[in-house]
Amino acid sequence: MTKVFFDTEFTGLHKNTTLVSIGMIAENGYTFYAELTDYDKSQLDDWLKDNIIDNLLLSKWDKNYEPHERYTCVKGDKSLINKYLTQWLAQFSSVEMWSDCLAYDWILFNDIFGHAFNVPKNVYYIPFDICTLFKIKGVDPDISREEFAPSRGIGSRGNLRDWQKVKHNALYDAEIIKRCYEKLMEEINK
């Protein structure tokens, strides 16, 4: 089963939130990044504009990258993101999803497909949370992820080499989640 580490950015911590971006990194380094154009802009406050919208990567681009097994970058509405994400996930025979404080991430991931029952069949229906892994390992789940697993080398893959290396960019945060997982598993396997 291939582990995919993911993060989402969205329009606030409330039940009517809408997805702004999603970043995913498989354990083999393959990446998926998408920015949505149909999120509810009326929900944006100054913090979201400064910390989420200003950290988007594709906002100034007019076209998408052609999908590639190693990386896919796409900007568009939820239906376009669904198409590209389904194609990207199809390269894996089975997928185990990992996030950080995943309550919103998992719901918004499912929403890309319209409903949990529409998520591609190769995606395991139970997501996993890096916070729980921290707790089980005896590490404070509120620890700074960037201090625990520094982001050395992030941004060196293909057309994604220009990632914004800042918290609250979904692709950067997904990479940090992956690094935290790897460090925790190294310590578990010692």
Residues 39-59 pLDDT 10s? 999 999 999 999 899 888 876
- Percent of the chain residues past pLDDT 90, beyond the cut: 71
Give the domain range for residue 65.
2-188
Here the CATH number for the domain that contains residue 91 is: 3.30.420.10
Would the pTM count as exceeding 0.85?
Answer: yes
Please say if the pLDDT value at position 19 is more than 80: yes
Mean pLDDT over each residue of the chain, to the nearest integer: 87
* Total domain count, the chain: 1
Please say if the pLDDT value at position 38 is more than 50: yes
**AA letter at 54:** D
CB 97 within 8 A of CB 109: yes
pLDDT, tens digit (0-9, with 9 covering 90-100), for 64-80? 556 666 888 899 999 99
Contacts of 73 (CB under 8 A, 6+ apart): 33, 34, 57, 58, 64, 65, 159, 160
